[in-house]
């Protein structure tokens, strides 16, 4: 996914690794969850593969600054990766589902406390989403992405609430210790 992001950003303009990292942290972290601490490794790999070119900028300081730009090969790869991702059969997965599958083997008290924490966390993320939405100017298609992620958060929040109720009160043969 990092390749699509870098190539897409470089389609808009030339940029330094730092600029790309800040863009991801500021705008796409909401959607991607990508760790930007090692942005330079994919940049080096993409340069080696001929997808981007690095150019040194000489400024008034003695520090070297590099900017990256998209190559023709990189433009083709961007389209290819986007098309592949748009039809990917992979469904979204939510990590919380795995431990909940094994619910009967987990201490009820611990599960309840962690689910309550998760519910609070989701509330905070939704609050943060609303603030970011007001803070930046987004294009119409980006607004739809925002709404999609907000709906996913709301659905997970409702799921957690229902699961807490299920654990607390049970449901006949499906009840939990």
What is the count of structural domains for the chain?
2
Domain that holds residue 141: 97-174
The C-alpha atoms of residue 46 and residue 7 are separated, in whole angstroms, by: 9
Question: What would the pLDDT profile of 111-124 be if each residue is shown by its tens digit?
Answer: 999 999 999 998 98
Where residue 69 falls among pLDDT bands split at 50, 70, 90?
very high
Query: Strand, helix or coil at 170?
Result: coil
Please check whether residues 72 and 106 belong to one and the same domain: no
Question: What would the pLDDT profile of 125-164 be if each residue is shown by its tens digit?
Answer: 888 878 877 877 788 988 898 888 889 889 999 999 999 9
Across residues 71-98, what is the average pLDDT?
A: 88
In a domain, residue 91? The reply is no
The share of the chain scoring above pLDDT 70, in percent, equals 92
Of 27, 51, 86, the one marking the end of a domain is: 86
Please check the confidence at residue 172 and state whether its pLDDT lies above 50. no
CATH for 45:
1.10.10.10
Please check whether residues 33 and 57 belong to one and the same domain: yes
Please check the confidence at residue 176 and state whether its pLDDT lies above 70. no
In a domain, residue 155? The reply is yes
Handedness of CA 131, 132, 137, 140 (dihedral sign): negative
In a domain, residue 92? The reply is no
Place of tokens 């389209």: 79
Of 31, 60, 86, the one marking the end of a domain is: 86
Q: Which of 28, 22, 25 is nearest to 5 (CA)?
A: 28
């Amino acid at each position: 996914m990092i390749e699509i992001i870098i190539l897409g950003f470089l389609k808009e303009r030339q940029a330094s690794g730092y600029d790309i990292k800040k863009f991801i942290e500021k705008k796409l972290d909401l959607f991607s969850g990508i760790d930007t601490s090692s942005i330079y490794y994919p940049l080096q790999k993409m340069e080696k593969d001929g997808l981007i070119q690095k150019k040194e900028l000489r400024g008034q300081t003695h520090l070297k600054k590099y900017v990256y730009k998209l190559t023709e090969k990189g433009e083709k790869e961007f389209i290819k990766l986007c098309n592949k991702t748009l039809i990917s059969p992979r469904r979204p997965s939510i990590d919380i589902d795995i431990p909940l599958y094994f619910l009967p083997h987990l201490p009820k008290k611990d599960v309840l406390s962690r689910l309550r924490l998760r519910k609070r966390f989701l509330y905070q993320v939704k609050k943060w989403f609303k603030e970011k939405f007001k803070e930046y100017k987004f294009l119409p298609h980006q607004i739809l992405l925002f709404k999609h992620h907000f709906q996913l958060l709301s659905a997970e929040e409702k799921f957690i609430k229902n699961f807490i109720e299920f654990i607390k009160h049970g449901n006949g043969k499906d009840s939990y210790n």
